């Protein structure tokens, strides 16, 4: 009995020793920065002088901060453009590639290609394609005799261009998740539906879609979290990050501006906390849906 | 006895080594990356260490894009360098945070300020705060207008005769040099501002406003002076350039890139340092003064900027003394820095050097430099420039100058007030 107790005691200590590096790493690089960020959000800190405690001032100031309100509006618009169309079009692509047809694997691989390069590389490529006198102008404007379209220099077109480039790279990724969901649907149910005379639409609606509810929640959750954290496209694509006239300024970019261009670390931390709260809220809502699914 | 003697000798040797170690000063020196300067830096540092065996220098070169952030985060962590360089546009925040040590003339082996400044014809205005100097220039630069002679001649113009003297005359000349497609879209621009370059919209409006006898920011009272008749004239000019005359705009490629690529006939965003790039691109160039406004009250060209070597006020007193000694030693190599890295300072050794005499544009730049002024130095430079760019973009999107300028003025004042309030709070 005593021996067993001692064995357990040793076993636990060894376990702790083994997990300690991972826990230490997590605490140092995840937990501590988050807590420090929370602390900074209650301070005025310019990096060069010690932080000054200002309580909730930074959060209160955000309510009347034009830049924050612009970035919030732009972020919500970007989230809308980067989730709903992605959700629908990636599902549509998955249903297409779930069918057997000649050359499917090659076309599917080609369709998946935009996922492979990092988003910064995608942005650099699209910056060239979206040059006012570039390929996209020739492809789209050429039909109407247009030789210049200010894709990235027009305050209306620039945010739409961001959404289009994002969706181009995101749809193939989420298509793969939908395909995994479709692969999990028992074949006999589809066969039974076919025997009962159900067409593709009815089969999708009554057989496939109910099976895909968990996948649907996952795609919605991942795409919206991803969109809330938007940064790279808005930083690399426009001539001036967030421009023109702040039309592509999103919260992630505002954190960078406040923190490392304006050296207002307290405001940057406060914006980060708001972003964190928004993403947390969306995640909780979607997890609830997931449980029901 | 012999053992005791040996032991005593060892003790003496150790004590001597310890004392020598205590006197040794190690300086950390950070500079932004400018590839042609790096071998010269290394040579200067090696010579300095040889001449000063009690001072060791850890010389670190940091990529330009990372430099401002790395410098600030290092100061925040209390591990900032003893010596660093930075541009005149960004020095105000270091001064405001009490990071800059005033020049220690004695440590530099100079009797007083006049002994230093008399060696230069200009360049110290960007680093003088409350009457005191806080650094020594390693580069004093101004932009001027370069013409691609081949394109000008092709358009039937002679840059020496036809280069416009005034901003008002510029659009007509630029139009003659512009090639357009069937829709009137410029395929080759005659002249354009370097819209994608952030500093352009700090230097250019300030340059124009200096010509009109005012400025964007009253540096003394730390107040924006943007919503004025002069500023309206300047921003109408930019708005008309892009929207009315359609001679260019922020949608086009960086002006320097297009000038070097033969797609822009005239560019006003190169300094003297741009000449080697033009030679490499095989551009037949000529250099001209930036236009002035008709009826200008000041005959200034494009605003000056400078890079300064400065010393960290938080370093130990012995490190600060050693640092100023190194700064003097480094800046005394100005002629080598100009010959090898194109870094001009208006100093006698430079203007009498072979490299200066062999550079056909050098006397022109020196003459323009004497007439030019520094743009205002403000804490929160990036916030201020962002506010200006936001306003500029709003005007280009069709909003009226009269509507946008009050907002721009408010936003710049808000940024300035915030920084001033923060400085006051820190001082308390």
B223-242 per-position pLDDT tens digit: 999 999 999 999 999 999 99
**Chain B environment of A246 (Cβ under 8 Å):** 390, 393
In a domain, B130, yes or no: yes
In a domain, B372, yes or no: no
Q: Are A239 and B76 within 8 A, CB to CB? A: no
Q: Are B61 and B170 contained in the same domain?
A: no
Check CB contact of A147 with chain B, cutoff 8 Å: yes
Arithmetic mean of pLDDT, B212-228: 91
Q: Are B73 and A245 within 8 A, CB to CB? A: no
Instruction: Choose the final residue of a domain: B345, B366, B387.
Output: B366
User: Nearest by CB to B383, which of A145, A147, A262?
Assistant: A262
Arithmetic mean of pLDDT, A176-194: 90
- How many Å lie between the alpha carbon of B181 and the closest alpha carbon of chain A? 8
Q: Which domains does chain A have, with CATH numbers?
A: 2-40 (no CATH), 61-292 (1.10.3720.10)
Percent residues over pLDDT 90 in chain B: 78
- The per-residue b/e assignment along B17-39, b for 16 or more CB within 10 angstroms, e otherwise, is eeeeeeeebebbbbbbebeebee
Q: Are B45 and B59 in contact (CB under 8 A)?
A: yes
Arithmetic mean of pLDDT, A197-222: 89
In a domain, B9, yes or no: no
Q: Would the pTM count as exceeding 0.95? A: no
In a domain, B84, yes or no: yes
Q: Are A244 and B382 within 8 A, CB to CB? A: no
- How many Å lie between the alpha carbon of A271 and the closest alpha carbon of chain B? 17
Q: In chain B, which residues touch A (CB < 8 A)?
A: 69, 72-73, 75-76, 93-94, 97, 99, 181-183, 185, 187, 195-196, 198, 249-253, 380, 382-383, 386, 389-390, 393-394, 396-397, 411, 415, 418, 422, 425-426
Closest CA to B224 of B423, B418, B410: B410
Q: Are A52 and B380 within 8 A, CB to CB? A: no
Q: Are B305 and B126 in contact (CB under 8 A)?
A: yes
User: Nearest by CB to B390, which of A47, A150, A245?
Assistant: A245
In a domain, B16, yes or no: no
**Chain A environment of B187 (Cβ under 8 Å):** 133
The pLDDT score that the predictor gives to residue B20 is 47
Q: Are B221 and B171 contained in the same domain?
A: yes
Structure tokens at B41: 């830096």
Q: Could you tell me which chain A residue has the CA closest to the CA of B418?
A: A264
Best residue of A153, A155, A249, A254 to probe chain B, by most B CBs closer than 10 Å: A153
Q: Are B185 and A147 within 8 A, CB to CB? A: yes
User: Nearest by CB to A244, which of B72, B382, B393?
Assistant: B393
In a domain, B90, yes or no: yes
Check CB contact of A146 with chain B, cutoff 8 Å: yes
Centre a 10 Å sphere on the Cβ of residue A19 and count the other Cβ atoms it contains: 11
User: B262-315 pLDDT, tens per residue?
Assistant: 999 999 999 998 998 999 999 999 999 999 999 999 999 999 999 999 999 999
User: B405-425 pLDDT, tens per residue?
Assistant: 999 999 999 989 888 787 777
Q: Are A153 and B185 within 8 A, CB to CB? A: no
User: How many domains does chain B divide into?
Assistant: 2
Q: Are B397 and A48 within 8 A, CB to CB? A: no
The pLDDT score that the predictor gives to residue B10 is 55
- What is the residue-wise DSSP string for B199-249? THHHHHHHHHHHHTT--SEETTTTEE--SSHHHHHHHHHHHIIIIIS----
- How many Å lie between the alpha carbon of A238 and the closest alpha carbon of chain B? 9
In a domain, B6, yes or no: no
- What is the residue-wise DSSP string for chain A? -HHHHHHHHHHHHHHHHHHHHHHHHHIIIIIHHHHHHHHHTTEE--SSS--EE-TTHHHHHHTT-HHHHHHHHHHHHHHHHHHHHHHHHHHHHHHHHHS--TTHHHHHHHHHGGGSS-HHHHHHHHHHHTSTTSHHIIIIIGGGT-----TTTSTTHHHHHHHHHHHHHHHHHHHHHHHHHHHTS-HHHHHHHHHTT--HHHHIIIIIHHHTHHHHHHHHHHHHHHHHT--HHHHHSSSSTT-STTTT--HHHHHHIIIIIS--HHHHHHHHHHHHHHHHHHHHHHHHHHHH-
- What is the residue-wise DSSP string for A131-143? STTSHHIIIIIGG
Between these two residues, B2 and B185, which has the higher pLDDT value?
A: B185
Q: Could you tell me which chain B residue has the CA closest to the CA of A54?
A: B425
Between these two residues, A5 and A293, which has the higher pLDDT value?
A: A293
User: B84-96 pLDDT, tens per residue?
Assistant: 999 999 999 889 8
Q: Are B310 and B383 contained in the same domain?
A: no
Arithmetic mean of pLDDT, A59-70: 94
Best residue of A240, A255, A259 to probe chain B, by most B CBs closer than 10 Å: A240
Q: Are B150 and B341 in contact (CB under 8 A)?
A: no
Mean pLDDT taken over chain B: 91
Q: Which of A204-213, B98-107, B156-165, B398-407 has the lowest mean pLDDT?
A: A204-213
Check CB contact of A53 with chain B, cutoff 8 Å: no
Domain that holds residue B92: 24-140+305-366
Best residue of A127, A245, A258, A266 to probe chain B, by most B CBs closer than 10 Å: A245
Check CB contact of A36 with chain B, cutoff 8 Å: no
Q: Are B122 and B74 contained in the same domain?
A: yes
User: Nearest by CB to A240, which of B75, B389, B415?
Assistant: B389
- How many Å lie between the alpha carbon of B128 and the closest alpha carbon of chain A? 20
Beta-carbon contacts of residue B399 (< 8 Å; ≥ 6 apart) = none
Q: Give yes or no for a cis peptide into A221 (omega within 30° of 0).
A: no
Q: Are B278 and B313 contained in the same domain?
A: no
The pLDDT score that the predictor gives to residue A13 is 77
Check CB contact of A55 with chain B, cutoff 8 Å: no
User: A4-62 pLDDT, tens per residue?
Assistant: 555 555 567 788 888 899 999 999 999 999 999 999 999 998 887 788 899 999 999 99
- Confidence class for position A1, pLDDT limits 50, 70, 90: very low
Structure tokens at B168: 């008002």
Q: Are B286 and B217 contained in the same domain?
A: yes
User: Nearest by CB to B250, which of A66, A239, A261?
Assistant: A239
Q: Are A263 and B394 within 8 A, CB to CB? A: no
- Confidence class for position A260, pLDDT limits 50, 70, 90: confident
Q: Are B168 and B85 contained in the same domain?
A: no
SS3 state of residue B382: helix
**Chain A environment of B396 (Cβ under 8 Å):** 244
Percent residues over pLDDT 70 in chain A: 96
Report how far residue B409's alpha carbon sits from residue B391's, in angstroms, rounded to the nearest whole number. Answer: 9
Q: Are B192 and B278 contained in the same domain?
A: yes
Q: Which of A141-150, A249-258, B152-161, B231-240 has the lowest mean pLDDT?
A: A141-150
The pLDDT score that the predictor gives to residue B240 is 97
Q: Are B291 and B318 contained in the same domain?
A: no
User: Nearest by CB to B97, which of A49, A131, A260?
Assistant: A49
Q: Are B389 and A146 within 8 A, CB to CB? A: no
Q: Are B397 and A154 within 8 A, CB to CB? A: yes
Q: What is the ipTM of this complex?
A: 0.80
In a domain, B17, yes or no: no
Q: Are A240 and B397 within 8 A, CB to CB? A: no
Check CB contact of A51 with chain B, cutoff 8 Å: no
User: Nearest by CB to B389, which of A44, A152, A243?
Assistant: A243
Q: Are B186 and B290 contained in the same domain?
A: yes
User: Nearest by CB to A147, which of B99, B183, B389?
Assistant: B183
**Chain B environment of A245 (Cβ under 8 Å):** 390, 393-394, 397
Phi, psi of A213 (to 5 degrees): -60, -40
Check CB contact of A153 with chain B, cutoff 8 Å: yes
Q: Are B107 and B206 contained in the same domain?
A: no
**Chain A environment of B65 (Cβ under 8 Å):** none
pLDDT at position A286 over 90: no
Q: Are B76 and B113 contained in the same domain?
A: yes
Q: What CATH number corresponds to the domain at position B63?
A: 3.40.190.10
């Amino acid at each position: 009995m005593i021996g067993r107790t001692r064995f357990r005691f040793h076993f636990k200590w060894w376990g702790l020793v083994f997990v300690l590096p991972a826990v230490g790493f997590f605490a140092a690089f995840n937990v501590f920065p988050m807590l420090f960020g929370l602390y900074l959000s209650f301070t005025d800190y310019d990096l060069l002088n010690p932080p000054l405690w200002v309580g909730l001032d930074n959060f209160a100031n955000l309510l009347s901060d034009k830049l924050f309100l612009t970035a919030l509006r732009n972020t919500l618009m970007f989230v809308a453009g980067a989730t709903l169309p992605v959700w629908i079009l990636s599902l549509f692509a998955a249903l297409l590639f779930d069918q057997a047809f000649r050359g499917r694997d090659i076309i599917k691989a080609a369709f998946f290609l935009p996922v492979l390069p990092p988003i910064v590389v995608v942005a650099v490529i699209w910056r060239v394609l979206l040059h006012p006198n570039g390929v996209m102008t020739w492809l789209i404007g050429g039909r109407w005799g247009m030789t210049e379209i200010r894709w990235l220099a027009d305050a209306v077109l620039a945010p739409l261009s961001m959404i289009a480039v994002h969706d181009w790279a995101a749809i193939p990724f989420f298509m793969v998740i939908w395909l995994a969901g479709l692969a999990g649907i028992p074949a006999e149910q589809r066969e039974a539906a076919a025997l009962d005379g159900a067409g593709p639409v009815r089969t999708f609606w009554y057989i496939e879609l109910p099976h895909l509810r968990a996948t649907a929640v996952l795609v919605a959750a991942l795409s919206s979290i991803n969109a809330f954290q938007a940064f790279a496209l808005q930083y690399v694509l426009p001539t001036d990050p967030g421009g023109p006239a702040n039309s592509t300024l999103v919260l992630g970019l505002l954190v960078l501006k406040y923190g490392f261009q304006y050296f207002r670390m307290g405001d940057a931390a406060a914006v980060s906390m708001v972003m964190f709260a928004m993403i947390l809220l969306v995640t909780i809502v979607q997890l609830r849906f997931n449980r029901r699914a | 006895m012999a053992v005791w003697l040996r032991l005593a000798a060892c003790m003496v040797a150790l004590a001597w080594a310890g004392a020598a170690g205590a006197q040794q000063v190690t300086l950390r020196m950070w500079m932004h990356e400018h590839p042609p300067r790096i071998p010269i830096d290394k040579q200067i540092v090696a010579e300095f260490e040889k001449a000063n065996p009690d001072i060791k220098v850890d010389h670190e070169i940091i990529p330009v894009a990372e430099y401002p952030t790395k410098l600030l985060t290092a100061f925040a962590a209390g591990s900032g360098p003893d010596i660093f360089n930075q541009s005149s546009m960004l020095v105000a925040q270091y001064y405001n945070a009490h990071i800059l040590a005033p020049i220690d003339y004695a440590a530099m082996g100079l009797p007083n300020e006049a002994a230093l400044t008399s060696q230069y014809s200009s360049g110290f205005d960007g680093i003088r705060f409350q009457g005191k100097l806080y650094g020594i220039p390693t580069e004093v630069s101004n932009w001027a207008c370069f013409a691609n002679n081949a394109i000008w001649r092709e358009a039937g113009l002679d840059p020496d005769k036809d280069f416009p003297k005034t901003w008002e005359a510029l659009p007509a000349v630029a139009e003659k040099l512009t090639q357009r497609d069937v829709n009137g879209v410029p395929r080759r621009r005659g002249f354009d501002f370097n819209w994608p370059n952030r500093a352009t919209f700090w230097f250019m409006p300030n340059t124009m406003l200096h010509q009109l006898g005012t400025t964007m920011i009253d540096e003394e009272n730390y107040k924006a002076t943007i919503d004025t008749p002069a500023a309206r004239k300047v921003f109408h000019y930019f708005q008309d350039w892009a929207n009315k005359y359609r001679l260019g705009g922020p949608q086009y490629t960086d002006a320097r890139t297009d000038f070097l690529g033969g797609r822009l006939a005239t560019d006003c965003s190169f300094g003297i340092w741009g000449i080697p790039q033009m030679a490499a691109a095989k551009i037949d160039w000529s250099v001209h003064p930036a236009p002035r406004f008709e009826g200008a009250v000041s005959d200034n060209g494009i605003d000056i900027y400078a890079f300064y070597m400065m010393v960290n006020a938080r370093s130990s007193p012995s490190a600060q003394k050693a640092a100023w000694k190194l700064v003097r030693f480094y800046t005394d190599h100005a002629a080598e820095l100009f010959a090898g890295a194109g870094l001009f300072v208006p100093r006698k050794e430079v203007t009498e050097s072979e490299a200066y005499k062999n550079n056909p544009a050098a006397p022109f730049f020196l003459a323009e430099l004497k007439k030019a002024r520094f743009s205002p130095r403000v804490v929160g430079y990036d916030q201020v420039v962002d506010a200006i760019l936001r306003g500029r973009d709003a005007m280009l999107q069709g909003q009226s100058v009269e509507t946008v300028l009050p907002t721009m003025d408010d936003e710049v004042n808000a940024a300035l007030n915030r920084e001033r309030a923060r400085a006051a709070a820190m001082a308390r």
